[in-house]
Amino acid sequence: MSFTDILLFILFIQVLHFFGTWKLYQSAGRKWWEAAIPVYNAIVLFKIINRPWWWVFLIFIPIVNLIMFPVIWVETARSFGKNSTKDTLLQLFSLGLYTYYINYFTKHEYIEDRSLKAKSKTGDFVSSILFAVVAATIVHTYIMQPFTIPTSSLEKTLLVGDFLFVSKFHYGARVPQTAVSFPMVHDTIPLAGVKSYLKSPQLPYMRLPGFENVQRNDIVVFNWPVDTVRMFRDQSGKHYDKPIDKKSNYVKRAVGVAGDSLEIIDGKIYVNKAPLQLPDRAKPQFSYLVQGKGQGFNMRSLVEIYGITDGLQWVDRDRDLYQVNAITEENLEKFKNHPNVKSVQRIISPEGKRDPAIFPNNGKADWNRDNFGPIYIPKAGQTVDLDQESFSLYRRIIEVYEGSEMGIEKHLELKGSQVYLNGEPLNEYTFKQDYYWMMGDNRHNSEDSRFWGYVPQNHVVGKPVFIWMSLDPNAANLVDKVRWERLFTTVGGEGKPTSYLVYFLIALVLIIGYNYFIKKKK
């Protein structure tokens, strides 16, 4: 849906509203023409139904307006004496068109001092739930969203079982592109297992102003660009062509930002030809082959002493050869002194060994997860040459991220050494948005940009800022399950994370005590 389509739709709604309500405006002591002026007519209507004028803002917020419109329909009917359950149902099931019947075929009398309090406990409960959902949807969409860490790709910085608050306002909140969606759920309605949205209409991409851009080394939540699975970790085999904002949420580290040149050499990341300098909280992990001495390992001690949370597995029992799936360099030095460790060797895919699963997924580049690139990370407004070598790197960007997902038909093909766009020769291309290179700190256990390429700016969701709860999925009991030292800690910052749980509890006790004292005094 383009901006022109949106304007035409708004005009259609205005015409529909005018012809369905102009007599009601007159009965309420207003002028008939006030029903015809966009925005102003909404302010007047809220005065008629005795509701606050700022409700006007709510009807222009996607998703929230889906809740507000039925409320307005019902409130309008009740303001003119249509209070029965039958009237309410007719308004809802006719999508508000019952207002036409009230406007033209009933003797409507305006109830000016109508009580806003529901006439039943059920009505009062429904009203409370509706406005709680509205408030929560606004916070969830534009301010802060809860998020759970499902995988170990950022292990040691973010752990499996961490519950985060993700800021939408740091990078600027996206206005939802999917206009019709179940509030506060992602791509699937819980328990029902069905899609939570309608694929159309789709609104144009818009983002509110933020106070910072994605910086190198930021941990970022984003929509997985190549996602087509029914829902995260679904094994049904069903696939959907999803809207951008309904693709699965991923969290990785932005090791490269727009305008950077990136290369991976023997597992080490180089940005603009210099080694990537990670913050001290980042703990990269790699896989290692371990030659044992025949004494075996205690799995609990591997986790508690050496931080090996991704497990250890046999490679060759006869040779007493193991694989440690992920361990930091700091823990590796301690692990070398384990009584059953004879030697360790990092597992590295050698330079020149081709992995067809690695971006650009054309089976032609001699790249793998440990030796990759160099590549350029596109920046908005920058122009690159398009030729036989760069064709595969930028094809998806041009065809999908700046093509079909923007409602523009773009087909790129290579004939000989010449690139063609929609049948016309194309020698260079200017990018329309910024892109990022996202990777996990768990280098050998992370599905990231090495496998599916660039992350567009319009896929960026937000910035994790706070861990409010952390549960160890492998703990035996509830007390051990809670990682108390991680509760109420910040995601960013330098040094060891500090828990603010004690300060929160003190503040909570003070607030409860103050409220109790005030009530008792009254």
Opening angle at CA 123, ends 121 and 124, nearest 5: 65
**Nearest 5°: phi and psi at 194?**
-115, 165
Which among 144, 161, 366, 170 has a CA at the least distance from the CA of 254?
Answer: 170
Give 77's Cβ-side CA count (13 Å radius): 25
From the number of C-beta atoms within 10 Å of its C-beta (0-12, 13-18, 19+), residue 5 rates as middle
| Residue 473 vs residues 13, 149, 376, 436, 480: alpha-carbon distances, Å | 50, 11, 39, 31, 10
Q: Sign of the CA dihedral 481, 486, 487, 491?
A: negative
Residue 202 β-bridge partners? 178
Under 8 Å CB-to-CB from 431, ≥6 apart: which residues? 378, 379, 380, 381, 382, 383, 384, 397, 402
Q: Which residues of 88-109 are buried (b: 16+ CB within 10 A; e: fewer)?
A: bebbeeeebebbebbbeeeebe
Q: Sign of the CA dihedral 482, 488, 490, 491?
A: positive
Check if the beta carbon of residue 187 is closer than 8 Å to that of residue 74.
no
Active site residue 252: yes
Angle between helices 85-93 and 98-105 (to 10 degrees): 120
**Cα–Cα distance, 441 to 272 (Å, whole number):** 19
C-beta atoms surrounding 39 within 10 Å: 12
Which among 280, 323, 332, 285 has a CA at the least distance from the CA of 305?
Answer: 332
Among the listed residues 27, 79, 152, 153, the single catalytic one is: 153
Residue count of the chain: 522
Q: Sign of the CA dihedral 52, 54, 60, 66?
A: negative
Question: Residue 56's Cα: distance from chain center in Å?
Answer: 27
Q: Which residues of 63-72 are buried (b: 16+ CB within 10 A; e: fewer)?
A: bbebbbeebb
Active site residue 153: yes
**Cα–Cα distance, 48 to 76 (Å, whole number):** 8
Among the listed residues 246, 252, 283, 463, the single catalytic one is: 252
**Cα–Cα distance, 505 to 517 (Å, whole number):** 18
Q: Sign of the CA dihedral 33, 38, 40, 45?
A: positive
Check if the beta carbon of residue 136 is closer than 8 Å to that of residue 186.
no
Under 8 Å CB-to-CB from 77, ≥6 apart: which residues? 83, 87, 88, 91, 98, 99, 102
Structure tokens at 136: 């929560």
Catalytic residues: 153, 252
